[in-house]
Chain A
């Protein structure tokens, strides 16, 4: 990132640029370099060994599985919600539209506590399900509920603006030409919405991979049952098992790089659609 003509720059350009590079370098680059270097320090074989420890590996698998499952649910519910908010009018629509963002504003710990209050074993709903033999809190359904809550805005807000800008004339033209509703949906609407739907799914997926606060409260953190990767890493740090924490952390970190890369591609793709 070095600039050859750095010395020739005016101070009004030079100072803000150096400050920016310093801030990003100090807060983002240096920590990532540190964790990567520490993880690879013991050699690749050691790193793989740490990643493959049964408890950590189970946590990773569970995390990826739940994140994928959640992203798939969000594709359907997020798109449906965005559709209803843009195309329909019904009482309390503005109220609902405003509340979509509430999961962004509410602390994740509070989310976890709200879900325990509502679905915990002592609550009416929780005890009802318990009698049916279904455990929500301290089990996987609770984790899914927490993830659905915290990622809901991503799923809706990625699709909503695109749907708002989408002109109805294409659909009307297709209809006049005799296309069925299904054909219009799959051939006209879906291709335009697809990049934004996938963006919402990728954002949800990435958030689900790293989510901690709500899950640590809701999941009970039982190894080989409800312990997700972030909670596993936290436990390993607390018990000073830095090596195993590093292994799992590096997998999470590199996965978020990949998702970010994918999101960049999606963004370019949707810009192409605009033109």
Chain B
């Protein structure tokens, strides 16, 4: 805090006032921007009564939407953890032409608008699309069906695990892995016994971010899914659908449920972040 013991009393008190002004400004900003919306939705949802909340969350259409979100999230986590880790290992441990280019491509999903992302997959996999054309001749539907929704989610969450694991691998360096293989460990053993333990917290961090983003993804999934009730409607699509149908009770309670879950995830994220920090030092 204030460490200027040599300061003249006058400038010191002026400095104090400045500090108070800055602190109040930040607290008020934070309160208005972040806290009041959270408080608002809690109040509004429960003003309708707990029974109404429960009823709207347990309709078959809502249950199906939550289930679909769960399945897509689980699949995205498995695939992107697997490929994300492989990508990180390749980028950290191998050298080849175009590696830098590959690494910069990895950041693209964060920069691309989710709507544009969904649109790209329609152009590719839509019934008249580049690849979709071929699939539809085999009678396999990708757009307006589960595969398309999964692909869109994979795209928007692709960087998380890779981006979290990559810096850990770089900092950790190949020395221990090389030692292990000199001592006769197979490559598989080296990975499981040496590499994996060192990157596990980075992976866990990336996985939680992937979960949060998969559950929350809306734009990309909306474009490729068609949001068909009981079929291709995820939780966020259902919230949007209920909201535009003026079913506010349903929209608010589902929104609050997702917000509560994000809180829970956030706690996990913070815990892992601390673990990760203490593991690397």
A binding-site residues for B, Cβ under 8 Å: 1-3, 12-13, 16-17, 19-21, 23-24, 27-32, 34-35, 38, 77, 80-81, 83-84, 87-90, 96, 98-111, 113-118, 123, 145, 148-149, 152, 168, 172, 175, 181, 206, 209-213, 216-217, 229-231, 233-234, 237, 245, 249, 252-253, 256-257, 259-260, 263-264
Contact = CB atoms under 8 A, between A and B. Distances in A.
A106 B262 contact: yes
B57 interface: no
Given A80-B26, A106-B259, A110-B258, A28 B108 contact: yes
Given A3-B96, A83-B22, A98-B270, A28 B255 contact: no
A32 B44 CA distance: 42
A18 to B, nearest CB: 9
Given A107-B215, A107-B262, A210-B115, A24 B106 contact: yes
Contact of A99 (B15, B34, B101, B120): B34
A24 B83 CA distance: 9
Contact of A23 (B83, B104, B123): B83
B199 interface: no
Interface in B27-43: 27, 29-30, 33-38, 40-41
B249 interface: no
Interface residues on B, range: 35 or more
Interface in B2-59: 3-4, 11, 15, 19, 22-23, 25-27, 29-30, 33-38, 40-41, 44
Contacts of A229: 113
A233 B122 CA distance: 13
B111 A17 contact: no
Interface stretch (B60-68, B133-141, B168-176, B217-225): B217-225
10 contacts: A21-B102, A32-B108, A34-B120, A80-B25, A105-B262, A107-B259, A110-B41, A212-B115, A256-B108, A264-B104
Contacts of B34: 99-100, 102-103, 149, 152
A141 B235 CA distance: 27
Contact of A20 (B87, B129, B215, B216): B87
B113 A230 contact: yes
Given A16-B90, A29-B105, A102-B266, A84 B155 contact: no
Q: Taking each of B40, B129, B223, which has the highest tally of chain A beta carbons within 10 Å of its own beta carbon?
A: B40
Contact of A102 (B96, B101, B263): B263
A17 B91 CA distance: 9
Q: Taking each of A19, A115, A116, which has the highest tally of chain B beta carbons within 10 Å of its own beta carbon?
A: A116
A107 B216 contact: yes
B157 to A, nearest CB: 10
Contact of B40 (A81, A117, A233): A117
B23 A148 contact: no
Nearest to A251: B116
Contacts of B108: 28, 32, 256, 260
Given A20-B90, A30-B124, A260-B104, A106 B216 contact: yes
A105 B37 contact: no
Interface of B: 1, 3-4, 11, 15, 19, 22-23, 25-27, 29-30, 33-38, 40-41, 44, 83, 86-87, 89-91, 94, 96-98, 101-102, 104-117, 119-124, 129-130, 151, 154-155, 158, 187, 209, 212, 215-219, 222-223, 235-236, 239-240, 243, 251-252, 255, 258-259, 262-263, 265-267, 269-270
B138 to A, nearest CB: 18
A27 B239 contact: no
Contacts of B114: 210, 212-213, 230
Given A20-B90, A38-B123, 11 more contacts: A12-B187, A24-B106, A98-B266, A106-B216, A108-B216, A118-B37, A210-B111, A210-B115, A216-B240, A217-B243, A260-B108
A152 B33 contact: yes
Nearest to B216: A107
Contacts of B158: 23, 27-28
A101 B218 contact: no
A23 B79 CA distance: 10
Nearest to A146: B37
Contacts of A115: 37
B122 A237 contact: yes
Contacts of B209: 104
B111 A256 contact: yes
Nearest to B107: A260
